[in-house]
Structure 1
Amino acid sequence: MLETNHSNAELAAEITASAEPMQRLVLEVGKALVGQDVLVHRLLIGLLTGGHLLIEGVPGLAKTTAIATLSKAIDADFQRLQFTPDLLPADLIGTQVYRPQQQEFVVQKGPIFANLILADEINRAPAKVQSALLESMQERQVTIGGETFSLPDPFLVMATQNPIEQEGTYRLPEAQMDRFMMKVVVDYPTRHEELQILNRMSRTRQQIAIGTVTTPKEILHARDLVDAVFVDQQIAEYIVDLVMATRKCEAYGLAIGPWIQFGASPRATINLTLAAKANAFLHRRAFVVPQDVKDIAMDVLRHRVMITYEAEAEEKTSEDVVNMILEAIPVP
């Protein structure tokens, strides 16, 4: 448990105060977005940790609306990139343009130089574009003509992919999948939510005004507080056990080895810890509890556990594997 000394009390008070703009952000995004509470929550975790999101869902579930509205509410730059098979790396990061008047090449920066990036249908782009995006996501920088440029901070990539239409798509490399902090599966709205969507959106002209409720500077300050959130040693060991169980399941009494081709990488351990700390921050706590880990574990692990053909033959998914692990590992 968190010690109740003066410094920790001050930290708790500062976290409570700094989490308030995040709650206002949720309410502001809610003006344009019905339902999708999990998606908005994961977007906030991405902002607070600098982690990127892979969103999987059928068309029409407001994935674009979510991140576009978020960018307006935090006064940040937003770019939507439609990934297509003929997209080139220069279309993403920029290129050098020759100016005959000066007789020199000038760097023309691409749309990647924004705070929030929506990479729509990311699996439609070829390998060279995936490689260019990979450097941007991991290094927070791009290289144009031998010159390196830093990307703005905060920088968040939300990539979407359609799970039902695979014609003309490229499978994302495992290395790039691992760069995404979370994979969020967006489902259809409930009947009540769909009725709200009908009442709010069935107009030819939308009159929804989104106000600015926070700034990138406040987001960066909140990140410093997320770093200060306390993680008890028992919870740290719980996180490590969850990840290790995806690699050496027999050591944890799980007979699912034939279903797992590759387990989660050490990056999963880091991401799960950061996401749990951000989840605690959003709940205005200065310390992580086991439920923070359980709440976020599926989104952090589902795309990092590679299943075998045997698992597919038995109609098992990576989500089934993660659920079994969550049920088997004792909660501290």
Structure 2
Amino acid sequence: MSDDPRDPHADGDIERLQERLGRVREEVGKRIVGQEAVLEQLLVCLLCDGNALLESNPGLGKTSMIRALSEAIDLDFSRIQNTPDLMPSDITGTEIIRESGGSREFVFERGPVFANVVLADEINRATPKTQAALLEAMQEKQVTAAGETHALPDPFFVLATQNPIDQEGTYPLPEAQTDRFLLKIVLDYPSYDDERRIVDLYTEGTAVPAVERVVSREQLLAMQSLVREVPIADDIRDRAIGLVRATRDSPDIEYGASPRASMALVLAGKARAFLRGRSHVSWEDVEALAPPVLRHRILVDFRAEREGTTPDDAIAALSAAGE
């Protein structure tokens, strides 16, 4: 057995690792009722080594879900509450003067971005300058300060949230930053039965349910390596690429998705197949993940938007046309 944590067989066979992912779902389910599709998409991001943008109204459990997920997978967690007065150094860190033995030296004090899972809460409340501080971290997995480069922990994920209805005092995310999110995940209100279970869970108990650690960092790295090896048939890969390219020619879409979206769609499809215990990618995987992969990478034409067409509507129409 290899000692390399990125060796897909460093911790046993594929079935054993897939079974552990099922246990992750069970552990997160101790705190989060429902939202199975959202949890699956978050796991897809982790398996793809990608970032996620979560959009929902307040109070739907985004922070609780991400914290529970980081506990179940043995990942260091940090939370950044974005505000207009937040400075880039508040995220990345800054140099401070430290005295030792009568001498002084500059020492880099690491910011909250130095964690495995970084929750950037209400990211669109930060100024563009502060938002840009996350660009290098999200893409290069490193931070540069005072001319020195500091590597971020491995694995590293940025899971950002934003509120779609409260736009006062916010700064829209630039396209360069939204494109760095593998998925844009939309949370909806729970069903009546789920909401009743949520109320019972958090009003009858005396403590927040404990989440057991069931996946190690080394196992997650092994899973990430295995996901890239999941085979995808040429015709399914070509249909996925065709779907992305169709966003550039649709009369309902002003700006289409880039080749980065094609890579994201294929890789996310591999992760979903792995999550579901299958040995290959099906078109169902691609079709299910097309909305979260593409909805933040396209801009609906003004005319179509005025008629009520949403990005998800445009994606669904293109997907149906390609069948």
Q: Determine if the TM-score, normalized by the shorter chain, exceeds 0.5.
A: yes
Q: Relative to 1, partners in 2 of residues 1:120 and 1:207: Cα closer, same or farther, differing over 3 Å? A: closer
Identify the residue that residue 149 of structure 2 maps to in structure 1: 148
Which piece of structure 1 moves more, 63-72 or 312-321? 312-321
- Do the aligned residues in 2 keep the contact of 1:15 with 1:281 (CA within 8 Å)? no
Deviation of 1:14 after TM superposition, in Å, equals 3.1
Deviation of 1:320 after TM superposition, in Å, equals 1.2
Local SS of the residue matching 2:179: helix
Identify the residue that residue 292 of structure 2 maps to in structure 1: 299
Identify the residue that residue 256 of structure 2 maps to in structure 1: 263
- Do the aligned residues in 1 keep the contact of 2:202 with 2:208 (CA within 8 Å)? no
Q: Distance in 1 between matches of 2:14 and 2:288?
A: 20
AA at the equivalent of 2:255: F
Deviation of 1:17 after TM superposition, in Å, equals 2.1
Local SS of the residue matching 2:13: helix
Q: Distance in 2 between matches of 1:159 and 1:265?
A: 21
Deviation of 1:156 after TM superposition, in Å, equals 1.1
Local SS of the residue matching 1:103: strand
Identify the residue that residue 131 of structure 1 maps to in structure 2: 132
- Do the aligned residues in 1 keep the contact of 2:80 with 2:120 (CA within 8 Å)? yes
AA at the equivalent of 1:205: T
Deviation of 1:200 after TM superposition, in Å, equals 0.6
Q: TM-score, normalized by length of structure 2?
A: 0.94
Deviating 4+ runs (over 4 angstroms)? none
Identify the residue that residue 234 of structure 1 maps to in structure 2: 235
Q: Distance in 1 between matches of 2:183 and 2:141?
A: 18
Gaps of 5+ in 1: 1-9, 250-256
Identify the residue that residue 5 of structure 1 maps to in structure 2: none
Deviation of 1:144 after TM superposition, in Å, equals 1.1
Gaps of 5+ in 2: 1-8
Q: Distance in 1 between matches of 2:108 and 2:303?
A: 50
Which piece of structure 1 moves more, 94-103 or 198-207? 198-207
Identity %: 47
Q: Distance in 2 between matches of 1:111 and 1:53?
A: 18
Q: Distance in 2 between matches of 1:156 and 1:204?
A: 32
Q: TM-score, normalized by length of structure 1?
A: 0.91
AA at the equivalent of 2:85: D
Deviation of 1:64 after TM superposition, in Å, equals 0.2
AA at the equivalent of 1:116: V
Local SS of the residue matching 1:202: helix
Deviation of 1:15 after TM superposition, in Å, equals 2.5
Which piece of structure 1 moves more, 234-243 or 101-110? 101-110
Aligned runs of 1:12-91 on 2, under 5 Å? 14-91=13-90
Instruction: Report how many residues are paired.
Output: 311
Provide the aligned C-alpha RMSD in A.
Answer: 1.4
Identify the residue that residue 312 of structure 1 maps to in structure 2: 305
